[in-house]
Chains A and B, each alone.
Chain A
C-alpha cells in the first residue's frame, strides 16, 4: 500500500510538471527571445538560453518603440492600457454597486422591469452592439480619448447581479439597526454596505481589470492616433510589417510587459481574495 501511494504521488507530480511545462514554456521562450539579437531569431538560430541584450531591448521597447514608421514607445501604450483598464474596472464597480443598492434596498416604480432590463444587457456584449455604440461615441466626439475607450464598456450587468446577490445575503436587521442608530440611506451604504463588500469588490476588480486590459476589438476601432494606442493593439501592429523584418525581440519584450500588470494585480489582490474566503463577515 505504502509503495502504491508513492508511485501514485510520483505520477501525480509528473502530470502536474507536464502541465506547468506546457503553460510556462511559451512564456519562457518569450522572455528568452526578448533578450536576443533580432538577426539570430530571423535566422532561426535562437538559443534557448537568455541572450545578452536584455537592457537595450527593454530600453528601446519602453522608451522608443520599433524602428518602423508608426513607432510608438510601449511605455505610452502601457499607460493607455492601464488608464483604460482602471477606468473600466473602477467604473464598473462604482456603477454596479450603486445600481445594485438601488434595486435591493429601495422600492420605486418599475423596480423589477429595470432590473430585468439590466439583466437582459448580459446578452448584448460590445461585439453585438458595436455599430450603434461606435456611432454614439463618434457623435459625442469621444474617438481617440480615454472616455471613448472606457465609457461604453463600463455598464455591467454581471457586476450588478453579483452585488445584488451579495446585498440580499446581508441580514435585514443590519439595515434596521442602522436606521435605529440614526444612519440614513447614504450613511448605511457608506458605513456598512461598502466595508462589507470589500472582498467582493477586490474579486471583481481582479476580473474586471484583466477584462479591461485584454480589450482588443474596441480600442482597435476607436483609436486612430498612435499615441492613443493600447498595448494589445500595439503588439499586433508590430508583428505585421510590410517592408521590413519583424523586430521579434521588441515584440516579445512588449508581450512580456503586457503580461506584467495583470500578474501584478492577481498577486497583490490574491491576499484580499483569500482573506475574503476565509473570513466570514456577516
Chain B
C-alpha cells in the first residue's frame, strides 16, 4: 500500500529528444490512476520510468515515501503487466507466476499458496500446468495479471494490457481489472490510448500530450470541464465540435466575456434539433451530409452554412466546417435536409484562441 508521487519528472534521451517535459502527478494510496493520450505522448515512457525500466533524467519519483530514482525495478516493490504480456514461453503458467517469488527466495510452500490463490481468483486453476502458447489471448492476459498479483506489490503498473484483445473481451477484462483492483485496493497506474477505457477505469485521470500533462482530475470532471481544446477533443467520443468564434454568426450569439473567447466547443450530445434559440445559447443551421445510425443513437454529420474554419486539435479528424450532432436513435433526418441545432448556455465550452486555456463564461 503506497502513494505514488511524481515531482517535475523529466526524460531527455541522449540524442536530446525530450520525451517527458516535467510531469507532476500525485496518486493517493489505493487509487487507480490512468495515463491517457495519443501515441507518442510519453505516457508509456512515464510508466516505464516509474517501473525503473527507463532512467529518470530530472525530478523525483516517490513510491510510498521513498525516492526510487536510483533503485532497481526488482527492489521498487512494483509489478507490471505488459502489452504483449511478456510471459516466459518455456515455463508453465504456475512457474510464470512463481518465478518472481522464487527469485526472492520465498519458501516453496508459500509460493504454492500464493499462486494457487491467484489462480483461483483469476480462474486459472485448471491451466496451471499449461504453457503460455496453449492459452487464448484472454487467458494469457490473466496469467500476466496473476504474475503481478502474487507478488502483492505496493503498486501495479499496466502498460496497455488490453490492446491485444478483441473488443468484447476487452470490455469484460476492463471490468475484471477494475473489480480486482477495488478488492485488493492496490495503488495502480494504467496506460492506455483508449479514452473509453480511461474514463471507465480511472479514479484519477491524467491526460497527456507531447510529454506534458494537459489535465489531471476526476474523469467526469475532466469530461465536463476540459482545460484545453486538446483534452476537449480527446476525451469523449465522438469528439467535441470545436469552432472558431471569429465568425459573426457565432460571435453575435455570445455575450459578455464569452464573446472574447477564441474557440467554442460543443459536445455532439449537447445539441438539440429545434427552431428555438435558448437564452444565452447558440443555434446553428446545418445541412445534413451523412448519417450513422448505431441503434440507440444517431450521429448526424452536418456542414455549416458558411465555410467556417473548424479547429482540429488532433490531426485526422473531421474536415473544417463539419459538425457532429448526436441525437436519439429514433430520429433520422434525411440527407441533404436543412436542420437547425441549438445548445443551452451552460453546455458551451469556451477556450482562448490558442486552445491552451479554458474560459469560464
Which chain A residues have a beta carbon within 8 Å of chain B's beta carbons?
A: 171, 173-174, 176-177, 179-183, 187, 191-192, 195-196, 198, 279-282
Contact = CB atoms under 8 A, between A and B. Distances in A.
A196 B91 CA distance: 10
Interface of B: 51-53, 72-74, 78-80, 82-84, 86-90, 99-100, 103-104, 133, 147
Q: Which 5 A-B pairs have the closest CB atoms?
A: A181-B100, A173-B86, A182-B74, A182-B103, A177-B86
A281 B89 contact: yes
Given A180-B73, A180-B74, A282 B86 contact: no
29 contacts: A171-B84, A171-B86, A173-B83, A173-B86, A176-B82, A177-B86, A177-B87, A177-B147, A179-B53, A179-B74, A180-B52, A180-B53, A180-B73, A180-B78, A180-B79, A180-B100, A181-B99, A181-B100, A182-B100, A182-B103, A182-B104, A191-B99, A195-B90, A196-B89, A198-B90, A279-B133, A280-B133, A281-B90, A281-B133
Contacts, number: 61
Nearest to A282: B89
A155 to B, nearest CB: 29
A282 B99 CA distance: 18
A174 B90 contact: no
B53 A176 contact: yes
Nearest to A170: B89
Given A179-B72, A181-B103, A196 B53 contact: no
A180 B53 CA distance: 9
A187 B79 CA distance: 18
Given A171-B86, A195-B90, A180 B103 contact: no
B286 to A, nearest CB: 48
Given A176-B53, A179-B72, A280-B133, A192 B103 contact: no
Given A176-B82, A177-B80, A177-B87, 20 more contacts: A171-B86, A173-B82, A173-B84, A174-B88, A176-B53, A176-B86, A179-B72, A180-B51, A180-B53, A180-B79, A180-B80, A181-B74, A182-B74, A182-B100, A182-B103, A183-B103, A192-B88, A192-B90, A195-B90, A281-B133
Contacts of B103: 181-183, 187
A282 B51 CA distance: 23
Contacts of B80: 176-177, 180
A222 B53 CA distance: 52
A177 B90 contact: no
Nearest to A180: B73
Given A182-B74, A182-B100, A183-B103, A177 B133 contact: no
Contacts of B53: 176, 179-180
A195 to B, nearest CB: 4
Nearest to B81: A177
A174 B104 contact: no
A180 B51 CA distance: 8
Contacts of A192: 88, 90
B319 to A, nearest CB: 39
B150 to A, nearest CB: 11
Contacts of A173: 82-84, 86
A179 B133 contact: no
A177 B82 contact: yes
Contacts of A176: 51, 53, 73, 80, 82, 86
A50 B49 CA distance: 75
